[in-house]
Amino acid sequence: MDYDICIIGGCGHVGLPLGMCFAKEGKTVVALDIDEGLIRQVNAGEMPFKEEGGDELLKHVLASKKFKAERDPHCISQSEQVVFVVGTPVTSHLYPAYPAFFKSIQQYIPYLRDGQLIVLRSTVYPGVSEKVAQILKSHGLQVDVAFCPERISQGIALRELYELPQIISSFSDQGLVRARELFSAFNNDFVELSPTEAEFAKLFTNTWRYVRFAVANQFYMIANSKGLDFYKIYHGITHNYPRIQDMPKAGFAAGPCLFKDTLQLAALTGNTFFLGHSALLVNEGMPDYIVERLKLRLPLAEMVVGILGMAFKKDSDDPRESLAYKLKNILAKDCKEVLTTDPFVKDEDILPLHEVLSRSDLLILGTPHSEYCGLEFAGKEVVDIWDFFEKGGMI
């Protein structure tokens, strides 16, 4: 075999950090991807997204000849272990599109070989791992199939891959041993589950986080609608009181995972997961709530509104599923003009920070990037549902 590990989807937010870390530990890794622009960028030593320590590590593993990105799927056949970083998308009907997932897997079957370890890494709908194992077996492949979900937080993956316990599961004892050996490159803290248990574990984790954010956001809306500053109450109940220390602040609960995985769990229950649906309504409704509150007291139709930060989370350059864009769309019909800025996100509408600050009549914090600390607003009102500027969050 030419490679120890082939990572399919290897230039993305999950696959690239994983591949670089394996290469750092001495494994020969090929990152297979379909985006030729990304492949060229990665092979040139340029990180395609923000990742703590990523620039230095990418250059290191490329120089060591232990890592490269590739477009040709024949590299799958040349690898001892194959890691699929292919998630389950959600359709326009808000239902898991697992046929699309199976199609993604099946296109690579001609390149798989007997004896390989096949690891599914991204979140999948419960039962999908078993279906994949059945599909591969039906094609006569004698491989070990494991489901080992990623658990990292985007942006600090290179650190958390070494710090967090790894959930491992497989459909064979040999597959479990091989999965343990593979991920022992990072640490020896393992949680062994059945594949279905592991699938549920990943969905429960992301949904739990999404529901917690919804509770904070609902509390924020209730307090604000009664003319109270949520953050005065928040600081009052969390100060030196251990039973509520883990309560998050209000803000935009977004990104490519939490919303999608809550929908997957809802679909699994036959759409009787009412708590999850309620969380969706609360979190997705936050941009609407902000605009409706502003319309009660400000002539938005005559105002230029600036949004500070368009990424889906703090200090990230990833705009996927960002609610700042939903806020922008809503404001487009209610105000004179909408201006957007972000120090990391790149799109054609992003303007320099100084221009947004000078031209806007009203500012809304869309993403609490660290770079916004200490900004001066020349007396202009700033809507800050995060309490990032520590002046309260009332609208």
- pLDDT tens by residue, 320-349: 999 999 999 999 999 999 999 999 999 999
Please report, for the domain that includes residue 93, its CATH number: 3.40.50.720
Phi then psi for residue 324, to 5 deg, are -65, -30
Q: Are strands 67-70 and 29-32 parallel, antiparallel or unpaired?
A: parallel
Whether 139 and 270 share a structural domain: no
Query: Where residue 87 falls among pLDDT bands split at 50, 70, 90?
Result: confident
Whether 161 and 128 share a structural domain: yes
Last residue of a domain, one of 159, 192, 225: 192
Distances in whole angstroms, Cα of residue 175 to Cα of each of 116, 133, 142, 148: 10, 12, 11, 11
Distances in whole angstroms, Cα of residue 219 to Cα of each of 70, 282, 293, 386: 48, 10, 15, 13
Q: Are strands 117-120 and 362-365 parallel, antiparallel or unpaired?
A: unpaired
Mean pLDDT computed over 310-327: 96
Distance from C-alpha of 352 to C-alpha of 339, rounded to nearest angstrom: 10
Mean pLDDT computed over 277-306: 97
Mean pLDDT computed over 141-157: 95
Task: Name the percent of the chain lying above pLDDT 70.
Answer: 99
* Amino acid 102: pLDDT: 86
* Amino acid 89: pLDDT: 72
Whether 161 and 267 share a structural domain: no
Query: Where residue 104 falls among pLDDT bands split at 50, 70, 90?
Result: confident
Whether 20 and 168 share a structural domain: yes
Q: Are strands 362-365 and 381-383 parallel, antiparallel or unpaired?
A: parallel
Roughly how many angstroms between the first and final C-alpha of the chain, as a whole number? 61
Please report whether residue 391 resides in a domain: no
Mean pLDDT computed over 179-201: 97
Whether 168 and 276 share a structural domain: no
Whether 178 and 253 share a structural domain: no
Please report whether residue 394 resides in a domain: no
Whether 209 and 344 share a structural domain: yes
Whether 320 and 228 share a structural domain: yes
- DSSP label at 295? H
**Mind listing the pLDDT tens digit for each residue in 153-169?**
999 999 999 999 999 99
331 contacts 306 by C-beta, under 8 angstroms: no
Q: Containing domain of residue 30, as a range?
A: 3-192
CA 241 to chain centre: 31
In sequence order, what are the residues at sequence separation of 6 or more whose Cβ sits closer than 8 angstroms to the Cβ of residue 193? 167, 168, 169, 201
Q: Look at the chain and report how many structural domains it folds into.
A: 2
Please report whether residue 388 resides in a domain: no
Last residue of a domain, one of 192, 214, 233: 192
163 contacts 173 by C-beta, under 8 angstroms: no
* Amino acid 92: pLDDT: 65
Least confident of 10-19, 85-94, 166-175, 200-209: 85-94
Half-sphere exposure (Cβ direction) of 329: Cα atoms closer than 13 Å: 8
Is the pLDDT at 20 greater than 80, yes or no?
yes
Please report whether residue 346 resides in a domain: yes
Q: What would the DSSP string read from start to end of 162-203?
A: HHS-EEE-BSSHHHHHHHHHHHTTT-S-EEE--HHHHHHHHH
pTM of the predicted structure, to 2 decimals: 0.93
Whether 97 and 222 share a structural domain: no
Distance from C-alpha of 118 to C-alpha of 360, rounded to nearest angstrom: 53
Distance from C-alpha of 258 to C-alpha of 243, rounded to nearest angstrom: 24
Find the radius of gyration of the CA atoms of the chain: 23
**Residue-averaged pLDDT of the chain:** 95
22 C-beta neighbours (distance < 10 Å), count: 25
Please report whether residue 171 resides in a domain: yes
Last residue of a domain, one of 146, 166, 192: 192
- Please give, one letter per residue, the 3-state secondary structure of 326-342: HHHHHHHHHCCEEEEEC
Whether 186 and 282 share a structural domain: no
Please report whether residue 261 resides in a domain: yes
**Mind listing the pLDDT tens digit for each residue in 202-247?**
999 999 999 999 999 999 999 999 999 999 999 999 999 999 999 9
Whether 283 and 140 share a structural domain: no
Is the pLDDT at 91 greater than 80, yes or no?
no
97 C-beta neighbours (distance < 10 Å), count: 15
Joined tokens for residue 143: 């491989």
Please report whether residue 207 resides in a domain: yes
Phi then psi for residue 110, to 5 deg, are -60, -15
Please report whether residue 390 resides in a domain: no
Query: Where residue 93 falls among pLDDT bands split at 50, 70, 90?
Result: low
Query: Where residue 130 falls among pLDDT bands split at 50, 70, 90?
Result: very high
Whether 241 and 277 share a structural domain: yes
253 contacts 210 by C-beta, under 8 angstroms: yes
